[in-house]
Chains A and B, each alone.
Chain A
C-alpha cells in the first residue's frame, strides 16, 4: 500500500512538473504576475511529492518488503540497517529517484529562499528546473520504475553488492548527485538569463553559491570515492581514470572554472557570455556523466545495444538539453554586453587563464574518455585509453594552472603590474625552487614528478601565506593589529585561501605517493616478517570469524564502520590477519587486515589494514593461503603523505563552505540591507 502511494506521488509530481515548466514560463513572457507566482508553490509541491515517493521506497527497504522487485534484487533481511537504508540508492532505479529528489529539493530551496529574486528570473529558472525534473521523473516512471512488484514474493533478497556495503561507497553517490544537480541550478539560471536577455551582478550572486555548493559536494563525493578505492580495493590505488570517475571529474573541473568566472561577472560585469556558456557546459557534462554511468555505453557498445531503452532515453534528454540550450545561447548571447574594461595582466585576465586551463583539461579528459567509442564507430578498431595516457596528457595543463595560481591570486583587478607581483612573491618562488631542488637532490633516480609536484605545492601554499601577510599588514604591524585585520576580512577571501591551500596539500600528497611508494609482496608464515624501509611488518596469525560474529574484534581497530552498524553482527565470514608494525625493532601498532566473503552473493572483499599518520600510511593486505602449506601471500606498502590527498580535498571543500557563508550570500542579507540593490530595475 505504502509502495503504491509512493508510486502515485511520483506520478503526481510528474504532473506538477509539467505544470511548473509551462505556466510560469508563459507568465514570465506575458508579464502576468499571478502566473509567474505559481512557480514557487509548484516547486514546493513537487519536492513534497517526490519526498513522499522516496520515503515510500525507503520504507520498503527498511522493512525488507521483498514483494517490491527492487528490494528483492538489492537487499537482504540479514543486512545491517545502515545498508538497508543506503541500499535505497545502491541500485539504478533508486539512485535515479534520489537524483530527482535532490533536484526538486534545490528547486524548493529557490522557491523558499528566493524572495529577493526578481519575479521573472525566479519563474523562468524554476520552469527550466521543472523541465529537467519532468524529463527525469519520466525517465524513472517509464524506464526505471522502482515501485514494481514481484510475484511470487521471494523468501529473501539477493543482497546488496558487497562493495557497496561500506560507508565510503554508501555515501559517495548522494554527494555526487548533490553536485550534478547543484549544477542544474546554475544551468537553470543561465537559461533564465538568456530568456530574460540580461546578466548582471544580482544574477551572478545567485548563480555562484549554487555552483559553489555543487562544487563542494562534488569535491567531497569524489574524495570519498577515491578514499574508498584506496582502502577497499586491496592495493591502495586511489584514482584510475575510469570512465565513471571521469564522468564526475569533468563536471568538477568545469564547476571550478564556473565559480571562478562568476566572480568576474559579479565584481566586474565582464565575461558574461562565457560564464553562461560554462554554466550550460557544466550541467551538460553532468548529464553526459549520468549517461555514461547509467547506460553502460562505455563498458561496451554491445551492452548498450542489447538494452538500449534507458540509454536512448537519457541520450534524448541530453540531446534536447544541450542542443536547446546551445541554440538559445547562439541566438541570445550576441546581445549580452560586457562592460568591465581591463588589461590582459589583471585579476580578470588571470581568471580567464584559469578558465582556459580548466576547460582544456576537461576537454582532454573528455576526448580520452570518448576516444575508444569514437574509434569503434569510425573504423571499428578497438583501442584502450587508460591511466598512462591521462597522466601524460592531462597533467601538463594542471602544472600550467598551478604555476600561475599564486600570481593571479594576488593580481589587482583591472590592471596589474607583473613586475610588482613577482617582487611580492619572490621569496615564495625561491622557497619553492629550493624545496624542488632538495627533493631532486635527495631522491635516487631522475623522476621529475616528486620535485615538480612538491615545488608547486610549496609555491601555492606560500602564495597564500604572502597574501595573508599582506592583508594582515605583516611584518610592519603588531600581532594584535594583524589579527584584528584578518578577522575583519570577508569570508570569501578566507574561503579562497583555504581552498587554494587545500589544493596544494592534495598536489603534494599525489606527488609523494606516486613517486615514493614502497611495495613488498611475498609469502609469509605466521611469525615471519617483511622489511619495509624503516619498518618491519610481522605476520602474527590468521583467525576465522563466523557469520554473525560481532564487528568489533579484540586488539584490532577494525571497523572504521563498526559504530555505524551498532550491535549488529557481521553479515559475512571473515579471515582476519594480525600484523605487528615495528619501527627500529620496537612494536608501534597492531594491524588487522580482513578478507570477507558475503554468503548470499558469494562475493569477496578485502579490508586493508592501514596504519595512518600525516607522514605516511603503512598498508597491509592479506592475500591467499597457499595450497598445501601454512604460508599466506602478504602485500605490504609504505605510502608517503597518502592522507594528504584526501585531507587536501577536505580542506578544499571546507574552503568552499567558508566562502559560502560570506555575508553577500546570506539569505535575505542583501534584501534587509538595501532592498533596491537586491532587486534590479525590472
Chain B
C-alpha cells in the first residue's frame, strides 16, 4: 500500500515535470475548417491562470479545458460569436484578450486615433507658424545671455590691478 502511494506520487510529480506543449494532437477536430475556426478563437481567449497567454499558447490544464469547450461548442454548431459570448458569460470580459469596443473601453480603442489627431494638429500648427518665423539673429549663432554679456564685458575690460 505504501509502495503504491510512493509510486503514485512519483508518477504525479513526473507528470507535473513534463512540458505539455499547447494544442495536443488528441484535441484536434477532424474537420479542418472547424479546427481552423477553433484555433482563431483560441488565439483571442486568455488563459485565466496564466500571465498574458492565450489558451492557444498555454500549457495549463485550464487552457486545455477551454480549448476542448470551444471545440465542443463549434461541433454543436455554434457560431464564433456564440462561442465567445458563452465564454464571456462564464468567465467575464477578462477572458477576452481583445477587449470589445464598448463605452468603458472607448478610450482604450480611441487613444491612438485621438493622439494622432491631437498631436497632428499641434505639429501642423507649429509647422505652419514657424514657416515664417524670422529668427532674431542669424541661424546657428546663439545670442548670449545677459550674464554672459556681463562676463564678456568683464573679460574684455582692462584688468583691475587687484584682480589676481
Contact = CB atoms under 8 A, between A and B. Distances in A.
B25 A521 contact: yes
Given A269-B139, A344-B127, A521-B28, A299 B51 contact: yes
A381 B104 contact: yes
A644 B51 CA distance: 28
A165 to B, nearest CB: 15
B108 A371 contact: yes
A393 B99 contact: no
Contacts of A606: 19, 21
A363 B115 CA distance: 8
Nearest to A370: B108
Interface stretch (A97-105, A147-155, A352-360, A577-585): A352-360
B164 interface: no
Given A235-B21, A383-B99, A633-B21, A338 B133 contact: yes
Interface stretch (A173-181, A196-204, A555-563): A196-204
B113 to A, nearest CB: 9
A392 B98 contact: yes
Nearest to A601: B17
B93 A680 contact: no
B20 A624 contact: yes
Given A341-B131, A356-B123, A623-B24, A384 B104 contact: no
A137 to B, nearest CB: 30
A389 B131 contact: no
Interface in B88-122: 92-99, 104-105, 107-109, 111-112, 115-116, 119-120
Given A198-B142, A201-B140, A371-B108, A623 B21 contact: yes
Contacts of B131: 341-344
A295 to B, nearest CB: 15
A601 B120 CA distance: 52
A387 B57 CA distance: 12
B145 interface: yes
A375 interface: yes
A115 interface: no
B22 interface: yes
Interface in B12-36: 13, 16-26, 28
Interface residues of B, number: 59
Contact of B13 (A338, A359, A602, A605): A602
Nearest to A357: B116
Contacts of A624: 18-21
A382 B142 CA distance: 54
Contacts of A521: 23-25, 28
A243 interface: yes
Contact of A243 (B52, B124, B133): B52
Contacts of B111: 363-364, 367, 393
Contacts of B57: 235, 237, 240
A268 B139 CA distance: 8
A595 B24 contact: no
A234 interface: yes
Nearest to B107: A367
Kindly list the 9 A-B residue pairs having the minimum CB-CB distance in the complex, ordered from nearest.
Answer: A386-B97, A388-B98, A367-B111, A382-B94, A364-B112, A604-B19, A339-B135, A344-B127, A523-B25
29 contacts: A240-B52, A242-B51, A299-B51, A339-B137, A341-B131, A341-B133, A341-B139, A342-B131, A359-B119, A360-B115, A360-B119, A363-B111, A367-B107, A382-B93, A384-B96, A387-B43, A396-B112, A521-B23, A521-B24, A521-B28, A522-B25, A523-B26, A597-B18, A602-B16, A602-B17, A606-B21, A624-B21, A633-B24, A681-B142
Given A339-B142, A356-B116, 8 more contacts: A337-B135, A383-B93, A386-B44, A387-B97, A389-B99, A521-B28, A597-B18, A623-B25
